[in-house]
Amino acid sequence: MKQLLAVVFVLFTFRAYAVGWEESDKVAAIFKGSGVNGTFVLYDVTAQRLIGYGKARAETRFVPASTFKVPHSLIGLSVGAVESVDEVLPYGGHPQPFKTWEKDMGLRDAITLSNVPIYQSLARRIGLTRMSENLSRLDFGNGEIGTSIDTFWLNGPLKISAVEQTRFLAKLAQGALPFPRSVQKSVREIVLMERGENWALYGKTGWENAPNRGIGWWIGWVQKGDRVYAFALNMDIQQATDAKKRVELGKASLKALGIL
């Protein structure tokens, strides 16, 4: 009976995620023209369609780096490690790579500044057990956190693919994650980047191994009327000046697909 239930679960999961892929010549031209090695994927929730560039890479898992601050915030709020996105957390008092990080602050400011020590402080409050349990609830990437509570999203073992990022973000955008809707609303608010007539852009960058060579991310979604378009970009960063290309290429891709 257990084996039968396992087979049914696998089939259900496959069908739920069996979304067709369409390779976009427009997005491909943007990446090739920039000389960047990377991928971009857009998940149109209503149409149940994936469209983008670099399918194989879009399905490859990488360390999430600071894009993990999105699920990290959800977990911290849901378990009560912080009462709100404005509760101040300590950065620890040690010198940091960026002066803007050398300040106690809440998640609202910390996620905007991508403040690593603040989120490491939050991770220690959450602890390994609660972090692992809640990552499983989110079905986030490989779900592995190892034994180091404050580095697993920076150095591994946690990894996630661009396609998996879009599935997670689509649920967050719709308030469909297994967390309180008030918590999801708070996290949506702190990752809002821009708003226009009948649309809103939400996003978070990440950079594995910053400020050195590594993997750069930009993930998020566009709410356009009653439709949600979740997206994820990752790329190889060869030098520090490549970092700005994450959002530049992402926005260019969204415009090429008619989303922005």
List, by residue number, the catalytic residues. 66
Beta bridge partners of 160: 62
Q: Which H/E stretch holds residue 200?
A: strand 199-207
Tell me which H or E stretch contains 11: helix 2-17
DSSP state of 171: H
DSSP structure class, residue 89:
B
Strands ordered across the beta sheet of 20-23: 20-23, 49-53, 38-44, 227-237, 214-224, 199-207, 192-196
CA distance 122 to 77: 10
Q: Which helix (H) or strand (E) holds 184?
A: helix 181-190
Helix (H, G, I), strand (E, B) or coil at 182: helix
